[in-house]
Amino acid sequence: MKKIAFIAFLLAVCVSVGRAQESRQDISISGTGIYEPFKASSTDVQVAATVGEGAMISYRFMLTPSSALEANYGITYSNKIHYLVSNTNNYMVNTRTQEISFAYVRSFTFRKFNPFVEGGPGVLIFLPIRDSTTTSLDVKQQTGIGGLYGAGIAYEISPSFDIRAEYRGIVTKVPTFGYSQLDTKRWYNISYPAIGVAYHF
């Protein structure tokens, strides 16, 4: 009887210690937007784009209670990139964009609010959609390497869940889809706002 009571006591202590430990990992799912700015260049190429929507999944591993490493994968459904060359030639590319990025995250705690900043490398894969929106150019998939930066805030709704909202930016070269006549020779800042839910474990 004493052994059973002792084992029960040990189990209770282990459970309480396990619950007291902070979560070291989390995974989040977010809805995202993609906003690509207007760009004009010295090569007589102007680029503009429509807004796109998508989704992103992120994984964070806490190094300390206030710093973490993050990996992201995101994809947008579609947005249209419009090129105007020498004010006469118009080209439209309906595009699906994938993001693969990694970041260092520094967070701060104010009761249930946890603002954070992040930065790291990122890759954007521009995937042309060959439909009636895309012009007759034989556009090709293109991969752009750049940098990710961002800031946001998380609100804790329970010990296991929080709601996150953030502004994310990715700096990369304007895509050409394999055509030199579409080259602006410029970089631009793509805005990727995101809002979602994170689960801590």
The answer to whether the CB of 74 falls within 8 A of the CB of 103 is no
The domain limits of the chain are 23-200
Q: What is the DSSP letter of 93?
A: E
Per residue in 101-157, pLDDT (tens digit) is 999 999 999 989 999 999 999 999 999 998 888 987 789 999 999 999 999 999 999
pTM: 0.84
Strand pairing report for 187-191 and 142-156: unpaired
- Which region among 98-102, 132-136, 162-166, 167-171 has the lowest average model confidence (pLDDT)? 132-136
Stated as kind and residue range, the H or E segment containing 30 is: strand 25-34
CA distance 189 to 173: 9
Q: Does domain 23-200 have CATH number 3.40.390.10?
A: no
- Find the distance separating the first CA and the last CA of the chain, reported in whole Å: 35
